[in-house]
């Protein structure tokens, strides 16, 4: 598995969706945890949602600081940087967008760049949980700097059609190279798969991008901190495929 191979520089993987509620933070938490499991070096998960991002909650981490604070202080060493980061029991580093309970409504791409500009020297891989949508300056800036992308969409025909429209928009707005390094995560939000899920998979798989179905998982659906040992084997296997696929694609970026 290529997840553990050396990288030429720190890889940035953006996790995006056309709207909130698709399962983006859950996918970010899962694939960041899997990358950390297979890599011998440091892996970081960043919540870049300017609203009330839920990544730290999903990872069960209470970080001492935030992306906004990191942008303000701009630490110059690993020791200074590490003081801002939370860490899971498995060793994944975590950086929320704003302090617990606050909204990072002043988070823009300039602040994001100030906060993350030096992180590439400390981390082999950074997984970025983006806010919903694609057109804000923050989202576009993150995508321009990403080595690969996981695009998350609900497992419904409407979700698949919205995803296709969003991907077409990306192709026409300067992100065609990133699309070649994109994988699609189709998330099932109901316990009983039906024809809608099959139709959604068909709508997306008719393109050239790889599509992986993340099956319904009762533990993940509870919306609490993810305990890796409680994630079902089919869900873990699907998340591992997504992580391996997107990381491998990130290696082809300069």
pLDDT digits (tens, 9 = 90+) for 69-114: 888 888 889 999 999 999 999 999 999 987 665 656 667 888 899 8
82 inside domain: yes
Ranges of beta strands (E only) in 49-143 are 86-87, 93-95, 125-130
If you average pLDDT over every residue of the chain, what do you get?
A: 89
Q: Specify the 3-state DSSP secondary structure of 242.
A: helix
Q: How far apart are CA 200 and CA 86, in angstroms?
A: 37
Joined tokens for residue 57: 């909650």
**185, part of any domain:** yes
Flag whether 5 is in a domain.
no
The answer to whether residue 22 is domain-embedded is yes
pLDDT above 80 for 205: no
The pTM assigned to this predicted structure is 0.94
When divided into structural domains, the chain yields a total of 1
Cα–Cα distance measured from residue 156 to residue 112, given in angstroms and rounded to the nearest whole number: 32
Task: State yes or no: pLDDT of 195 exceeds 60.
Answer: no
Whether residue 29 lies inside any domain: the answer is yes
The pLDDT value given to residue 45: 97
**111: buried, middle or exposed (CB in 10 Å: 19+, 13-18, 0-12)?**
buried
| Residue 1 falls inside a structural domain | no
Residue 209 pLDDT level (bands cut at 50, 70, 90): confident
Confidence at residue 103, expressed as pLDDT on a 0 to 100 scale = 59
The verdict on residue 43 lying in a domain is yes
What pLDDT sits at residue 242?
97
| pLDDT band, residue 169 (cuts 50/70/90) | very high
Average pLDDT over residues 241-250: 97
pLDDT at 22: 84
- Quick check: 106 and 115 in contact, CB under 8 A? no
pLDDT score for 104: 61
Domain that residue 71 falls in? 10-250
Q: How far are the Cα atoms of 59, 94, 198, 238 from residue 109, in angstroms, in the given order?
A: 24, 19, 37, 32
Instruction: Report the CATH number that the domain containing residue 147 is assigned in CATH.
Output: 3.40.50.300
Separation CA 182–CA 12 (nearest Å): 12
Residue pLDDT, tens place only, 101-153: 565 666 788 889 988 988 989 999 999 999 888 888 999 999 999 999 999 99
What is the predicted pLDDT for the residue at 135? 87
Whether 125 is covered by a domain: the verdict is: yes
Q: What is the model's pLDDT at position 64? A: 85
pLDDT at 200: 74
Q: 193 pLDDT band (50/70/90 cuts)?
A: low
DSSP class per residue in 145-183: T-SEEEEEEESSHHHHHHHHHHHHHHHHTT-HHHHTTEE
């Amino acid at each position: 598995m290529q997840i553990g191979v050396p990288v030429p520089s720190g890889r940035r993987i953006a996790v995006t969706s056309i709207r909130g509620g698709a399962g983006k933070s859950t996918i970010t938490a899962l694939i960041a945890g899997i990358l950390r499991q297979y890599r011998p070096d440091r892996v970081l998960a960043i919540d870049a949602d300017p609203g009330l991002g839920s990544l730290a909650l999903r990872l069960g981490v209470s970080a001492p600081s935030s992306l906004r604070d990191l942008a303000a202080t701009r630490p110059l060493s690993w020791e200074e940087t590490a003081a801002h980061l939370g860490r899971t029991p498995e060793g994944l580093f975590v950086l929320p967008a704003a302090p617990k309970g606050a909204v990072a409504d002043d988070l823009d791409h300039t602040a994001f760049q100030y906060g993350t500009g030096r992180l590439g020297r400390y981390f082999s891989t950074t997984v970025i949980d983006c806010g919903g949508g694609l057109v804000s300056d923050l989202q576009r800036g993150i995508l321009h700097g990403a080595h690969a992308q996981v695009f998350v969409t609900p497992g419904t025909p409407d979700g698949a059609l919205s995803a296709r429209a969003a991907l077409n928009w990306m192709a026409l707005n300067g992100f065609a190279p990133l699309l070649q390094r994109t994988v699609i995560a189709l998330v099932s939000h109901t316990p009983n798969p039906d024809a809608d899920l099959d139709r959604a998979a068909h709508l997306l798989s008719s393109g050239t991008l790889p599509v992986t179905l993340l099956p319904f998982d009762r533990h993940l659906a509870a919306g609490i901190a993810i305990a890796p040992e409680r994630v079902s084997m089919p869900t873990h296997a699907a998340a591992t495929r997504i992580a391996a696929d997107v990381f491998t694609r990130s290696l082809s970026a300069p």
